[in-house]
Amino acid sequence: MSRIFTFLDFLRSHKISTAIIFTALFVLFLDGNSVWERHYRWQRISELKETISELQASYDENTRQLNELRSNPEKVEKIARERYYMTREGEDLYIIERGSELEEFDKPEVEDNGAEPEV
């Protein structure tokens, strides 16, 4: 008990120092602008800067492609043919897709009687 009273007497005699220490601890650890909050915000800022740089690179690439499409009609035709399957008048378009259904028919049948398949 005497230690508690000694500590309380010390706090009473050093009121200003005690107030400064408690205020500093509150600001450093418990406040909305504490050390932890600042650290979190700096991490978030660095993540956002990386995202901005990625989006800026994507924007630059898209702008380059747009300028190329505006200045080069052959490029527009190529994209129209490849992506949208457009054709010129009088042309026929045949689309051959390789999928899991078609691959089953391409495999040779193997007989279960132990004989090797004919080549």
Whether residues 22 and 55 fall in one domain: no
Answer whether residue 109 is part of any domain: no
The 10s digit of each residue's pLDDT in 10-21 is 888 888 888 888
Domain range enclosing 59 = 34-86
Is the overall model pTM greater than 0.85, yes or no?
no
Tokens of 47: 């993540």
Q: In sequence order, what are the residues at sequence separation of 6 or more whose Cβ sits closer than 8 angstroms to the Cβ of residue 85? A: 93, 95
| 1-19 burial: b if 16+ Cβ within 10 Å, else e | eeeeeeeeeeeeeeeeeee
Whether residues 1 and 38 fall in one domain: no
Pick 5 or 6 by higher pLDDT. 6
- For residues 89 and 77, what is the distance between their CA atoms, to the nearest angstrom? 13
- Nearest of 101, 73, 109 to residue 117 by alpha carbon: 109
